[in-house]
Amino acid sequence: MFLKRQMPAIIAIGVGLFILFGHFINNPNVQGFVNNDATQWFDIIASFAIFLGALNMLKLQVLKVVKKQRNWQYSILAIFGFAFAIFAGFFFRGANYITLTDIHPQNVNKLVEYISTVQEVDDPVLMVKGIQGSLASYEIPKIFISRSSAEAFSVTISGIAKDVTLGVKPWGAHVQIKGSLFSWMFFKIFTPLSSTMFALLAFFVASASYRAFRIRNFEATLLLVAGIILMIGRVPVGELVPWWLVSTLMVFGIGALIAPLIPDKKLLFGIIIGGIVLTSGLGILLDWNLAVNMPAILSLPNISEWIFDYPTAAGSRAIMIGIALGIIATSFRIILGIERPF
Amino acid sequence: MNNKLLVISGIASFIIFIYWATFGSWFITGNAPTFVGVIIVSATIFYYIDGAKSGKEIYLRPIPGLKAIEEAVGRATEMGKSVLFVPGISDMDQVDTVAGINILSHVAEITAKYETDLNVPTCRAIVMESAREACRESYLRAGRPDLYYDDMVHYISDDQFAYAAGVNGIMIREKPAACFYQGKFYAESLLLAETGNSIGAIQIAGTGSASQIPFFVTACDYTLIGEEFFAASAYLSNKPELIGSIKGQDIVKFMVMILMVSVFALDSLRQLGILNFDILVLLGLN
């Protein structure tokens, strides 16, 4: 019971206090622990814990297939993917390469031609220069997943150089070398799938924006107006919106705000038309067509910048201060052992 | 003032004294304002924890998102569907995840009482283990340890989008009636929340990631914003010592407000040449 209950609390409180006050103690060992060792310990524990997670995932998927639970077919794909990644990472390097020694200078162009049959060559001239610079020993810039394909290619180019040798990239390095089985899996399967999920975000942003911008109340209207101003103000076309359009829209906005206070619609109409005439007349009189004369408030990029720099920044900072204080209070509760999520 | 508080104040004063007395040798130069800040914040929070423990009444304003937790689980029970709890994609080194696990323990207690299925897909193995421990305790507390099984908390993937795809798949296939997103989230927040919205689930989100709050506000029924998320476990537990820390946190916020206004006023007076005192230098900001 002590190991399960008190011990974790003692460790959490002790390490928590030590790291908190360690930030202020002028000692290289303490600083080393706070800045490096503590985080490395966490990384080590997390690395071991990954086995727990992987085994749990595998167990659940296997059980699903064995018991033929609902949608068990998807689990076959998950198990296959897991097994394939383990195979490519731990059991099969799939990173064979060919090295040529003592290449005859007259065979360089021929070699480039051969290479272009198995690997896309962007700049043949550059490749020729590269080979000419290392005629004594040159590694072909192509990784062969299977040894048999590497052997077949080495037979093809056997007359090019005095000696053709086959090699395999070392364990560990094979997962990062472009062209290996693992990198093929990563770049041809995993990356496109991740990108697909990320790309879905564009559609979800559209549907979420639609819902947020639906005019239901004053706040939603404010959000819609601010959103439109920000969207237009942040693109080049926003600079082309003329002052009279912005001033007219502003008059309409003010009209919408004061509308509930003026029951007489004719009077309201008169105020709005008067406002438009007044602003337009002022603009013509003061020559607002010239950028230097135009008030900054009538430029959409300026308005969007103001919205971003002041109301948005103020709101987000208020939330950030709240979050920071929340983090401090939660950390304090954990360090003192008042709250124990472990 | 009680004796305990006097002792704490004494210790704090002693630490501050040592700090100033040995400045530059034992302590890191330049960290003085932060250190004093830590001491003041800690002492304030501790004071209110102590006050709450001694029976002082503390009012907490109602938070709709927290009140809706029981309602969401109840809805899932009535519909005969499961409850999905997503604890974010970060590890236990993030306070957000810790706060998420704390909320999970309350949700698990309600699902245990209502005999509703709970599904907790995790992105990190350590979070999986912590979440299991929290759920096990909650089912035990609710008097239903028989309903708990380890696999209600399961691991999907460490990768952000693989995890999002996995959770979205669970949502589409199992159609949970209530979805909780409580933890640290990044770009996957909207993927999850919009999918949850499309299946008609009641959704309650909470995160400390300021950039993801707008997405949750848009797509979820209730969102715990900022400090509400970190106060959630204290609010739900109703334990005096935890509620006291919330009060302390609010007092610190009030102190921060006063400090901000004071700094603004004093610095304005200095810039106008009325005052010959630089508050920014004192706070280590200049």
Q: Which residues of A, range 252-281, sit inside 8 Å of B by Cβ? A: none
Does residue A329 belong to the interface with chain B, where contact is any CB pair within 8 Å? yes
Q: Is residue A243 part of a domain?
A: yes
Within this chain, do residues A119 and A75 fall inside the same structural domain, yes or no? no
Chain B contact set for A26 (CB, 8 A)? 24-29
Q: Which residues of A, range 189-208, sit inside 8 Å of B by Cβ? A: 193-194, 197-198, 200-201, 204-205, 207-208
Query: Which pLDDT does position A244 carry in this prediction?
Result: 92
Mean of pLDDT values over A311-325: 91
In degrees, rounded to 5, the angle at the alpha carbon of residue B182 between the alpha carbons of residues B42 and A192 is 125
Q: Nearest CA to A251 among A228, A231, A229, A280? A: A280
Query: Which pLDDT does position A341 carry in this prediction?
Result: 66
Contact A326 B93 (CB under 8 A): no
Within this chain, do residues A225 and A267 fall inside the same structural domain, yes or no? yes
- pLDDT lower than 50: segments of chain B: none
pLDDT tens track for A189-225: 999 999 999 999 999 999 988 888 876 788 888 888 8
Within this chain, do residues A29 and A84 fall inside the same structural domain, yes or no? yes
Chain A contact set for B25 (CB, 8 A)? 26
Within this chain, do residues A305 and A217 fall inside the same structural domain, yes or no? yes
Query: Which pLDDT does position A54 carry in this prediction?
Result: 92
Query: Which pLDDT does position B78 carry in this prediction?
Result: 96
Number of domains in chain A: 3
Query: Which pLDDT does position B3 carry in this prediction?
Result: 66
Cα of A324 to nearest chain B Cα, Å: 8
Query: For residues A16 and B258, which has the higher predicted lDDT (pLDDT)?
Result: B258
Within this chain, do residues A84 and A107 fall inside the same structural domain, yes or no? no
Q: Which residue of chain B comes nearest to A63, CA vs CA?
A: B151
Within this chain, do residues A258 and A276 fall inside the same structural domain, yes or no? yes
CA distance B13 to B199: 57
Q: Is residue A235 part of a domain?
A: yes
Q: Is residue A328 part of a domain?
A: no
Cα of A151 to nearest chain B Cα, Å: 37
Q: Is residue A184 part of a domain?
A: no
Percent of chain A with pLDDT over 90: 45
pLDDT tens track for A167-179: 999 998 889 898 8
Tell which of B127, B158, B185, B249 to mutate to test the A interface (max A CBs under 10 Å).
B249
Is residue A3's pLDDT more than 60? yes
Query: Which pLDDT does position B277 carry in this prediction?
Result: 86
Cα of B250 to nearest chain A Cα, Å: 8
A203-235 burial string, b = 16+ CB within 10 Å, else e? ebeeebeeebbeeeeeeeeebebbeebbebbee
Q: Is residue A193 part of a domain?
A: no
Report chain A's mean pLDDT, rounded to a whole number. 89
Within this chain, do residues A70 and A122 fall inside the same structural domain, yes or no? no
Within this chain, do residues A6 and A59 fall inside the same structural domain, yes or no? yes
Within this chain, do residues A147 and A98 fall inside the same structural domain, yes or no? yes
Q: Is residue A298 part of a domain?
A: yes
Nearest neighbour of A60 by CB, restricted to B151, B194, B248:
B151
Query: For residues A340 and A261, which has the higher predicted lDDT (pLDDT)?
Result: A261
- Domain ranges, residue A246: 213-309
Does residue B184 belong to the interface with chain A, where contact is any CB pair within 8 Å? no
Within this chain, do residues A81 and A100 fall inside the same structural domain, yes or no? no
Within this chain, do residues A9 and A30 fall inside the same structural domain, yes or no? yes
Q: Is residue A314 part of a domain?
A: no
Q: How far is CA A95 from the centre of its chain?
A: 29
Last residue of a domain, which of A67, A90, A113?
A: A90
CATH number for position A126: 3.30.1390
Q: Is residue A54 part of a domain?
A: yes
pLDDT tens track for B208-231: 999 999 999 999 999 999 889 999
CA distance B40 to B231: 20
Mean of pLDDT values over A214-239: 86
Last residue of a domain, which of A60, A90, A120?
A: A90
CB A103 within 8 A of CB A160: yes
Within this chain, do residues A217 and A305 fall inside the same structural domain, yes or no? yes
Cα of B22 to nearest chain A Cα, Å: 11
